[in-house]
Chains A and B, each alone.
Chain A
Amino acid sequence: MNNFPILSFLTFLPVLGMLIVLFLPKKEVQAIRITTLIVTGLQIVFSIILVMGYNYSAGGINDANSFQFKEFFNWISISDFAGIGKIKIDYFLGVDGLSTPLVLLTAIVTFIATLSSWNIDKSVKGYFLMFLLLDTGMMGTFVALDFFLFYIFWELMLLPMYFLIGIWGGPRREYAAIKFFLYTLFGSIFILLVMIGLYFSSMETLADGTRVFTFNLLELMNTANYTETGILSPLNPNNLRLVAYIALFVGFAIKIPMFPFHTWLPDAHVEAPTAISVILAGVLLKMGTYGILRIAYPIFPEITYQLAWWIALFGMINIIYGALAAMAQKDFKKLIAYSSVSHMGFVMLGMSALNTMGISGAILQMFNHGTITAMLFLIVGVIYDRAHTRDLEAFGGLGKQMPIYTGFVTIAFFAAIGLPGLSGFISEALVFLGGFGSGTTRILAVVSTLGILLGAAYMLWTMQRVYLGSLNEKWKDLTDLTGREYAMLVPLTIIVIYLGVNPSPMLNLMNASVNAMVKFIADAQVFYSSINTL
């Protein structure tokens, strides 16, 4: 069992599924769906096996030895390439407390999204092929530990997403898809530039003693590996690390999405089919913050330290700006999209605190936001499937017509508001405790608490406009939840409540890594400041 390449299996299981789907005839719609469902279901099973075999005391972050379920072999190795020297790209997978919650989240959300894709009836085969490819891209991004491999998975996601929005989307799907694609690609270019810059700034010592350029993220985190002249080397007095950090950050921030790079999100969400919105908000947004935590933070710890206040500032802007923008929405889905902007602000605020509570809160918030927002988008989907409109003003009194559905809505909304007893509270509280605990971000954290109030305001207002009040006669034929919708909402509800009451399982998963990260950044800060004074 120990040698079983579980991460590769998790990542490439969807590709296997794609092969099967590819050989199924186009007309066998049900078989295609069920294949996808089985594949995503297996992913859940394997990610649970992963968690069961997880060593809670291993930190990860920059220490290759404490990464778990590692898989490592030389993937591309060219001994002398066009005068650059030896090119070495590794196939290096591994998880730590940072990625395990997200692997789990990806598996869960994808499974739910598969169920939600059941009512797609336009070229089903193509849809599920794209869907599975997307799944591979997402999983791969979370488990890759080689920058090059990471980048490949990162870009791999983009393509199926483009088609999923552009073909199966709403009326303005082309616009939304192109906007999404170009925006993200724009960000990717920054990441690519930094990646190449880092490659030429650091050298890894191989077992035989030779030194080669490296894409290995863990090697890039080691200061000793940097060359004296590399443009992104801290040893080079004229280095461009600040610029590179900002570029990298912007690249990831587009995915978060961070103000002012967030406008692709509402458009993409409004046009995307429900299942894709679920994945987009549930998993894809997390990649931005994951990328920052996995790559930007440990590779540029001193700049992170330097810019923590700015990260918190943008977090705060996201929280308040997103909430205010959400309040002005007339489209249900757009409202939820802006609420995502607001909630991802909490993640950024928590990250910027650079202390245990803040970063734990941020990662937990990533997981919780994934589940809560998935619920919210499913809720919009339920109503859109029935009424074919998302106009908030058009509804009213659905609580009477669809009581069980409204029960789920209440849970999801209050989870989004951060009601204690539901998962959102713990992560938000940790974020604030962390943010307030760090001297740098203290004031910003206090201002951000306004977000709690604004969040409650727009959520409850929505609640009232759609579910309370007298029933609009037009909707008196709407039916309550179907079995499939139960199957989507109930598991998420259970997660949301369970993690609200007992967050320990998730927090224990990440504690060692968070502490390693905090320690690493603090140590690195001391180290780098000693370099600068020399």
Chain B
Amino acid sequence: MTESVLINISLAILFLPLFGFVVTLLLGKKVKSIYLFEVFILTIVLISAIVLAFGKLSYFIDHKIVSEIEWFRLTDTIVIKLGFLIDNLTVLMLFVVALISALVHYFSVAYMKGDERYNRYFAYLGIFTFSMNGIVLTNNILMMYIFWELVGLSSYLLIGFWFEKKSAADAGKKAFLVNRIGDLGMFAGILILFLTYNTFSFDTIFQSISAGKIPFNSEFWLTLTGILLFMGAVGKSAQFPLHVWLPDAMEGPTPVSALIHAATMVAAGVYLTVRIFGLLTADAMMFIAVIGMLSAFIPATIALTQNDIKKVLAYSTVSQLGYMVMALGVGAYKFAFFHLVTHAFFKACLFLGSGSVIHAMHHEQDIRNMGGLRKKLPLTYATFLLSSLAISGIPLTSGFLSKDGILASAFAFGSLTGYWIFAVVGFLVALLTAFYMFRLIIITFHGEPRDHHKYDHAHESPFVMAMPLVVLAGLSIFIWYTPNPISADQGWFLTKWIETPELHAPNSTRFDFMQSEVVAETQQVAEHNSSHGEITYSEKYTEAMHSAHYPAMFLSLFVAIAGILTAFVFYQWKKVNVEKLTASIKPLYNFSLNKWYIDEFYHKTFVAGLLGLSKIIYWFDATIVDGIVNGSATVTRAISTFTGAFDKYVVDGLVNFMAYLSGFIGLIFRRIQTGKVQTYIVLVIFSIIILFFFF
């Protein structure tokens, strides 16, 4: 196996779904079963992704495979390139995307059965997979932006798949526009990068930063560049304050929510931040950590009171993504990506599980109409429960490992910098997560059925839907990532597969504990002024992580169990009257139920403001600008009326007078002109006689 084989496999992984999209879309009308082609293609993509991951991790584990081609050139120095970067991160992410995408394809075969645009749905899934693979595989920020926008398009198409529903069409539009706001920031960041480095390639940019070249020679601009690029992630990963699109995106078909709005696309923001991690300064990281913290906390409080099964999961997704972003902010690069992977599996499982429930309940999404489904849907229940345990952070699950890592990092961050807030909020959110997940489970699956009609017709899902659930739930168990069920630190995932990233931002701009330490013995490193890849995390952080590990683990275990128990107390055993409790904190409850009124706020300010502004502009255009044009026309006409009158009465009057005068004179002399030759002769003779007299 050589590098070129891996590159060719990556090419196949990238372009096969596009091919599937084109074929399925064009033949969709004529060939009823063309969707099978798309499903087939995805199976090949999955196999290729597994082969790629296997090949990369077994043969080239320390290699970074880069392959570039020229896209277009303007001059000899301005050459825009496209290229692949295949490192361990890439193949793992590709595997996640391909696996979940393939599973969602299978799931959809049953779930979407009977839809009038069945084939088109699969085509859209194809273009989504293509775009997502592009984001993962790229080695430069421009190409990432290109695919970034393309996933935006596929997300738009899939959210608004049932576009006859106004809410679905609205949600698609909202998702695209809100994402665009983030993308603007990202694009601005790209502009700064290109201006400074004249390239889009991550590697080249990092090398230049290490060599001391930073935008506008100012650390502030480097920070700003990091934050601007991160703006893209804020949009795509639905981070506060741009998180509002994700819950609405649940208007799309449920498998789509599992694929795009839980596992892969929304994780792209985290992936982007992971990719640019090297250029982040301490200030940028602080910003990222704060955004992550807010995004973890706010949606968690909203999820407490939602009644739509998918909305709960959506807010939980935002919250978990907040975790990942916060992890990146506090420097826990590995755990952020680890959580991305584990979350992708269990959240996809939860969404597909909810899809299974919704399918069984004939498109009922309100959990208040469910209950007792555990008996009807045993398999769905089991997988859902396992995934919920994972998201709550119960030992033996993957979620425990990754979440614990993030909490420990936040803890360590607090001990090193004194910003304890991230750890505090982290644990609080863990409590809330456990609570709302089990609230969801209890109301949906436990107790007595509330809508007997629908309950009676409920049935367990067919194999193509059950199989993905089982696979994903299986992947929520620790064993795939590490042999040690309580710590992933020594597992292959964190030690072998993911490398500690190189940091490139100048030393002076980093957190103290992340500064490169020039080790005295290695003279080489000292000479090269820390521009080469030495270990950049100082021992301090590792030590702090180590000492934070056990306190954090016990604390997180404690809050998770506390959250689950509270849910049971509230909803299963009904020891506390929930109605009464909510009534007693009515304002708080409503605040959560109405999603902190953020949507309303945006509507009243930005949306209304923009529409108002556009009306004003148009009024200005039609009245003032065009008014001036028409006004000048009117003035011109008035002047012309005046000159017209002048012309008619004065100038032309003079001319007419002359004509009249000559006419009058003519009238006098016409008498002579009788037409009779004899008269003329008389005149001639008289004239001659007169002439004789004179001469």
Contacts and interface: CB of A to CB of B under 8 A. Distances in A.
* A joins B in a complex: yes
Interface of A: 179, 182-183, 259-260, 262-264, 321, 324-329, 356-357, 360, 397, 399-400, 410, 414, 419-421, 425-426, 429-430, 432-433, 436-437, 445-446, 449-450, 452-454, 456-458, 460-461, 463-464, 467-471, 502-504, 507-508, 511, 514-515
A195 B276 CA distance: 54
A122 to B, nearest CB: 27
B150 interface: yes
Contact of B170 (A179, A264, A445, A464): A464
B614 A328 contact: yes
Contacts of B142: 429
25 contacts: A179-B633, A182-B633, A262-B625, A263-B625, A263-B626, A326-B614, A328-B611, A328-B615, A356-B75, A397-B164, A436-B192, A449-B184, A452-B180, A456-B177, A456-B180, A468-B163, A469-B165, A469-B166, A469-B169, A470-B164, A471-B164, A502-B71, A511-B73, A511-B75, A514-B74
A433 B191 contact: yes
Contacts of A259: 625
Nearest to A397: B164
Contacts of B183: 452
Nearest to A407: B25
B173 interface: yes
A329 B618 contact: yes
B149 A446 contact: no
B357 to A, nearest CB: 27
Interface string B156-182: 110010011110011011001100110
Contacts of A503: 72
B526 interface: no
B173 to A, nearest CB: 5
Contacts of B425: none
Given A327-B610, A511-B74, A183 B629 contact: yes
B180 A321 contact: no
A357 B74 contact: yes
B655 interface: no
Interface centre among B71, B169, B192, B628 (most CB of A within 10 A): B169
Interface centre among A446, A469, A514 (most CB of B within 10 A): A469
B83 to A, nearest CB: 16
Nearest to A341: B621
A426 B142 CA distance: 11
Interface string B374-405: 00000000000000000000000000000000
B132 to A, nearest CB: 14
A452 B172 CA distance: 17
Give the contact-size bracket for chain B. 35 or more
Contacts of A420: 145-147, 149-150
Contacts of A515: 74-75
A448 B156 CA distance: 24
A471 B149 CA distance: 29
A507 B72 contact: yes
Report the 4 A-B pairs with minimum CB-CB distance, sorted nearest first.
A328-B618, A420-B146, A468-B169, A327-B614
Given A182-B633, A263-B621, A454-B610, 16 more contacts: A179-B629, A260-B625, A263-B629, A327-B618, A356-B78, A397-B164, A449-B187, A464-B173, A468-B163, A468-B166, A503-B72, A504-B71, A504-B72, A507-B73, A514-B74, A515-B74
A325 B617 contact: yes
Given A263-B626, A324-B613, A453-B184, A460 B164 contact: no
Contacts of A463: 173
A357 B78 contact: yes
B320 to A, nearest CB: 28
A425 B72 CA distance: 14
A470 B72 contact: no
B153 interface: yes
A469 B163 contact: yes
B7 interface: no
Given A468-B160, A471-B164, A460 B611 contact: no
B146 A436 contact: no
Contacts of B112: none
Contacts of B588: none
Given A328-B615, A471-B164, A457 B72 contact: no
Interface of B: 71-75, 78, 142, 145-147, 149-150, 153, 156-157, 160, 163-166, 169-170, 172-173, 176-177, 180-181, 183-184, 187-188, 191-192, 194-195, 610-611, 613-615, 617-619, 621, 625-626, 628-629, 633
Contacts of A182: 633
A234 to B, nearest CB: 29
Contact of B617 (A321, A360, A452, A502): A321
A471 B163 CA distance: 10
Contacts of B188: 446, 449
A325 B169 CA distance: 23
B187 A452 contact: yes
Contacts of B166: 468-470
B191 A445 contact: yes
A258 to B, nearest CB: 12
Contacts of B78: 356-357
Contacts of B73: 504, 507, 511
Contacts of B610: 324, 327, 454, 457
A436 B215 CA distance: 13
A360 B187 contact: no
A420 B456 CA distance: 49
A284 to B, nearest CB: 18
Given A450-B184, A453-B180, A360 B613 contact: no
B140 to A, nearest CB: 13
Contact of A325 (B153, B164, B191, B621): B621
B190 to A, nearest CB: 8
Nearest to B174: A460
Nearest to B162: A468
A358 to B, nearest CB: 10
Contacts of B191: 432-433, 436, 445-446
Interface centre among A182, A397, A429 (most CB of B within 10 A): A429
Contacts of B626: 263
A414 B153 contact: yes
A360 B80 CA distance: 13
A503 B150 CA distance: 18
B74 A437 contact: no
A183 B150 CA distance: 41
Nearest to A451: B184
B245 to A, nearest CB: 13
Contacts of A471: 164
Contacts of B176: 456, 460
Contact of B74 (A263, A264, A356, A453): A356
A400 B621 CA distance: 35
A188 B149 CA distance: 42
A460 B150 contact: no
A202 B633 CA distance: 37
Contacts of B173: 460-461, 463-464
Contacts of A399: 163
A357 B73 CA distance: 10
Nearest to B116: A400
